[in-house]
Amino acid sequence: MAQLLEGKRALVVGVANRWSLAWAIASAFRQHGAEVLLTYQGDRQRLTVEELAAELGAAALPCDVTREDDLHQLGEALRQRFERIDVLVHSVAYAPKEELSGKFLETSRHGFLVAHEVSVYSLVALARLVAPLMTQGGSIITLSYLGACRVVPNYNVMGVAKAALESCVRYLANDLGRAQIRVNAISAGPIKTASARAIKGLAQLLDHLRERAPLGRDTEPSEVADAAVFLASDLSRGVTGNVLFVDAGYHVMAF
């Protein structure tokens, strides 16, 4: 296998377990020669993420993206331990479960603010943190979903948050481009991750996708990971501000 990421160092934020897309991406990065760093949120995730990090020969650092102190400490740890970072993967999204059913009209103020703080502002905060360490240019990758631009039943406030996330990708791409830092999103098809199971009607959504998607099947985590390898590698050196769909082609369908 070609080592597309040989000599690169990637910070992957959002690994929760071995079924998460962030874990698939981190594993693919390691297979392609990158040094990988993981983060975990709180003591509840620490043991799981440290065990996964050990499989990759990686470090695991604490970071709750909603806490400025944690972000500051992560930045200090990165500066002390590593001379540069080449890739940031942002795979963080959350909305209270009660917001992921029923009508979007009923979204609470609290749910709206939490979804945007965790799922959107965290990208801006992390980009600001790692940009000074991308001394040779770099790649920032986040994960989105079709609900950013189309109505998906029960996705509700997360769809609005993903729309804001994709807008942040474009603004960050403009701000960071002169430093040769590229910013892109992968819009992945629905996959049975722990976070996706919080969405009411996920099974029916997956059935519909298999029926309508041009490839006639689910999206596989490895496909999302391979797209991330491309965006992290020099093969995508001219690509920034884009949303790359990896969803078996479902996004092209009108009905």
What domains does the chain contain, in order, with CATH numbers? 9-247 (3.40.50.720)
Annotation marks residue 40 as catalytic: no
Measured distance CA(187)–CA(12) in Å, rounded = 17
Measured distance CA(189)–CA(245) in Å, rounded = 8
pTM of the model: 0.94
Active-site residue, from 94, 155, 171, 250: 155
Measured distance CA(69)–CA(31) in Å, rounded = 33
- State the pLDDT at residue 255: 72
- State the pLDDT at residue 205: 77
Measured distance CA(255)–CA(248) in Å, rounded = 15
Q: Is the distance from CB of 14 to CB of 25 less than 8 angstroms?
A: no
Q: Is the distance from CB of 157 to CB of 112 less than 8 angstroms?
A: yes
Active-site residue, from 40, 94, 121, 145: 145
Annotation marks residue 145 as catalytic: yes
Enumerate residue ranges in the chain where pLDDT < 70: 1, 193-201
Tokens encoding 24:
């698939």
